[in-house]
Structure 1
Amino acid sequence: MRLVTWNVNGIRSISGGFRQLFAELDADLLCIQETKITKDMLTADIANIDGYNSYFAFCHNAKKGYSGVVTYCSDNYKPYEAIDHLAIRGYELPLGDVEVDDEGRAVITEFLIEKVEADTAGTSQGLHDDVDRGIKLVMVNVYCPRNDPDNPERVDFKTRFHRLLKARVQQYRFDGYHVIIVGDLNIAHKAIDHCEANMIVDFHKDPHRLWMNELFNDGYVDCFREFHPEEQHAYTVWNTQTGARKTNYGTRIDYIITDEELQKMGFFVDCHHMTSVMGSDHCPVIAEIHSNWRIISARELPTLCSKLMPEFRGRQTSIRSFLCMDNSSITSQRKATTETKRKRLLQSSLKTFFSLQGTSSHNGDRRDIPSVEINEMRSDIVNWSETTSVSDSAVEWLETVMPKKRAPENSVFEKMMRKRKIPICSGHGEPAAERTVKKPGPNFNRRFYACARPKGFATDKNARCNF
């Protein structure tokens, strides 16, 4: 079995569509963060995928198209329960902190698992066995808030969310569940996980990193570091504005975390990053489950399942239909729409022109047409007007909108239109790129030139120089 987590940065904008998402990832359990859709934006092609059952959490506050997570489970591995929140109403804080639980940041799925003999592994998948012998497992698909040091309210929000998440998984551990936490935690845990850790003051003292330390000290394991403890530059997200993915200048903030006991039982055999998969500023993180373990599939789907929504009952999209979609038909429709709009615009412009000349000729009243000196202009267009069937008012209208004479070469307009000389960067001898300051402050929106190459490590000759 394969567990995959991926922050897609907008589920409707995935490069290559669901062909990339399901066919290439080949996931049995797929956890997606930052869907950026609300329930009314959910469509059948996203909700109901052939061979999968899905569970969405939506942002319920005023932020449209914000946050959101979804968990897709193979129909061979149906969960027994699915929940779209972390907080438990009526409980004391932090477990009852419902105020930080309305942005659609978590989906919880509960399973039963069992270990099978090597000679029967792979032959019993999808069977509905006696649940009494199953081992309880909960998977929490989570999208933790981003840290914003300039916004104290969001810093506090992130801190409260972390406390709620930990309280929820600890409650499951108390109830006898094994726990898997997957998703975008928006924290680079150690210096090895951050490309600019040496530039951050008191990096290890950050309260959110200290929270992760507490989590791991309480009996949880970072699966990637369990199998690749010393791997350098193993990042999962890059700044697209600086082109940092080309130079692998990023951070590792996407995780698959499990309790120590489950890991000691040999549940996972590997965890790695699929950096070759594009379509988002993040890459997928994959954990391979040992073939001796299987999920006991539930007989019934949980009520949160998208297939049970009234608007989607009986409507299921086959992956094959996605793979066989005729892109030419879509292109033709777009082309036809563009041509229609262009034709309407042209018709509108011609009608406006001829209605103007017709009105002027009929009324004989030219008081609305500006008076200009047009001696040179008439000499240029007299032959055209004599050989073309067009009213005098139309000729006069053309003369009013055409320039009286060419502006001198040294005019302000001419200087503005001259191509500016682009400077050459000192590090590579290449044309620099124009940038705009986006950080709030006195230089906001000011333009400047910098090396056009992507941002990267100072030792990387292919990265941006200090120009």
Structure 2
Amino acid sequence: MSKTIKIASWNVNSVRARLGIVERLLREEKPDVLCLQETKVTDDIFPADLFRKQGYVHRVLRGQKMHHGVAILSRVELRDSGSHDWQDNGEARHVGVRLPCGLRLENVYVPAGGDIPDRTVNPKFGQKLDFIERMTRWSDGLREPTLIVGDFNVAPLECDVWSHKALLDVVSHTPIEVDALSRLQQAHGWVDIGRRFVPAPERNFTWWSYRSPDHTKNDRGRRLDHMWVSPGASERVLAHRVLEPCRSWERPSDHVPLICEIAI
């Protein structure tokens, strides 16, 4: 019996459009649990058969037609599923479960926030900040060991983007978003697993725009995807990887998967 559980997280940018590379990820990495964001499909037509054939017989879905959507697929039993409406408008952006090892697993897709970093002229930016604030209040009251994963749509550190100076006014790296995410992290003492295993200022991107035909040439990446764990459970995290080669797979997502291994 394995003494660890392997958990993958991936903003797949439409699960039906990426079925080939999702199957490849499952075949090559064999995670015990896969958390997907931006599935862009309602629950009734989610491609569950592909996952079932690969041994992922447990699933918790929260889908939405054409937009957003989150899912947790698993080889191990999932219990106590639930969802928070941190967007406060019914959008499908969060789902959570309890794993057999006792750890709570939360899968979240934070809104991108539009193009203008000013809530007075861009309501989407305000919605993003409010979403993070609701997560902060939830984190402040959290009393159980938890792993939260997903697309946070914020690159918090200067070294989490290809150019701190160039992106200071670009949504995902503005000071107001970074401050909001910092308050969220402090509310529970969350441990940033990505930077625990790849300390700053080492390069550690998870997203590259589709606007660049070859993302490797200019490497204008950002670290938008994260895995955070409760401080009391941080020593149980034994490994963490960013699967950057997936960005070059056929018909890729603009995000790449993250994987962590946790002691049971």
TM interval, shorter chain, is: 0.7 to 0.9
2:78 maps to which residue?
79
Contact 1:86/1:168 (CA < 8 Å) preserved in 2?
A: no
2:166 maps to which residue?
199
Deviation at 1:196, TM superposition (A): 2.5
Change (3 A) 1:170 1:25: farther
TM score, norm. by length of structure 2: 0.85
Q: Alignment partner for residue 181 of structure 2, among 212, 237, 252?
A: 212
2:203 maps to which residue?
233
Deviation at 1:191, TM superposition (A): 0.9
- Any stretches of 5+ residues in structure 2 without a counterpart? none
1:163 aligned onto 2:133: yes
Contact 1:239/1:250 (CA < 8 Å) preserved in 2?
A: yes
Deviation digits for residues 75-110 of structure 1 (CA, Å, limit 9, x no counterpart): xx3122112x214xxxxxxxxx6733x111111012
1:111 aligned onto 2:99: yes
Q: Distance in 1 between matches of 2:134 and 2:123?
A: 16
- Any stretches of 5+ residues in structure 1 without a counterpart? 88-96, 114-135, 295-467
1:2 aligned onto 2:6: yes
1:141 maps to which residue?
107
1:99 aligned onto 2:88: yes
Deviation digits for residues 151-199 of structure 1 (CA, Å, limit 9, x no counterpart): 621111111211222333433x23xx11111000000011100113112
Q: Helix, strand or coil: the match of 1:226?
A: helix
Q: Distance in 1 between matches of 2:208 and 2:14?
A: 16
TM score, norm. by length of structure 1: 0.50
Matches within 5 A, 1:7-18: 7-14=11-18, 16-18=20-22
Aligned length: 247
Contact 1:184/1:253 (CA < 8 Å) preserved in 2?
A: yes
Change (3 A) 1:285 1:50: closer
Contact 1:238/1:244 (CA < 8 Å) preserved in 2?
A: no
1:67 maps to which residue?
68
Change (3 A) 1:230 1:57: same
1:398 maps to which residue?
none
Contact 1:244/1:250 (CA < 8 Å) preserved in 2?
A: no
Change (3 A) 1:30 1:10: same
Contact 2:70/2:109 (CA < 8 Å) preserved in 1?
A: yes
Contact 1:47/1:54 (CA < 8 Å) preserved in 2?
A: no
Change (3 A) 1:200 1:246: closer
Contact 1:8/1:280 (CA < 8 Å) preserved in 2?
A: yes
Deviation at 1:4, TM superposition (A): 0.8
Q: Distance in 2 between matches of 1:146 and 1:243?
A: 22
Structure with bigger RCO (C-alpha 8 Å, 6+ apart): 2
Q: Distance in 2 between matches of 1:160 and 1:213?
A: 14
Contact 2:133/2:184 (CA < 8 Å) preserved in 1?
A: no
Identical amino acids, percent of aligned pairs: 25
Deviation at 1:19, TM superposition (A): 2.8
Q: Distance in 1 between matches of 2:105 and 2:48?
A: 25
Q: Helix, strand or coil: the match of 2:41?
A: coil
Change (3 A) 1:288 1:231: farther
Deviation at 1:227, TM superposition (A): 1.4
Q: Distance in 2 between matches of 1:231 and 1:15?
A: 34
Change (3 A) 1:15 1:99: closer
2:254 maps to which residue?
281
Q: Alignment partner for residue 271 of structure 1, among 210, 228, 240?
A: 240
Q: Helix, strand or coil: the match of 2:124?
A: helix
1:42 aligned onto 2:43: no
Change (3 A) 1:241 1:49: same
Deviation at 1:18, TM superposition (A): 4.4
Deviation digits for residues 263-304 of structure 1 (CA, Å, limit 9, x no counterpart): 1xx211121211112321111111122xxx32xxxxxxxxxx
1:377 maps to which residue?
none
Contact 1:194/1:250 (CA < 8 Å) preserved in 2?
A: yes
Deviation digits for residues 219-265 of structure 1 (CA, Å, limit 9, x no counterpart): 111101011113533111101222352222210000000111111xx
1:249 maps to which residue?
220
Deviation digits for residues 338-365 of structure 1 (CA, Å, limit 9, x no counterpart): xxxxxxxxxxxxxxxxxxxxxxxxxxxx
Deviation at 1:39, TM superposition (A): 2.7
Letter in 2 for 1:269: L
- Give the root-mean-square deviation of aligned CA atoms: 2.2
Contact 1:169/1:179 (CA < 8 Å) preserved in 2?
A: no
Deviation at 1:148, TM superposition (A): 1.6
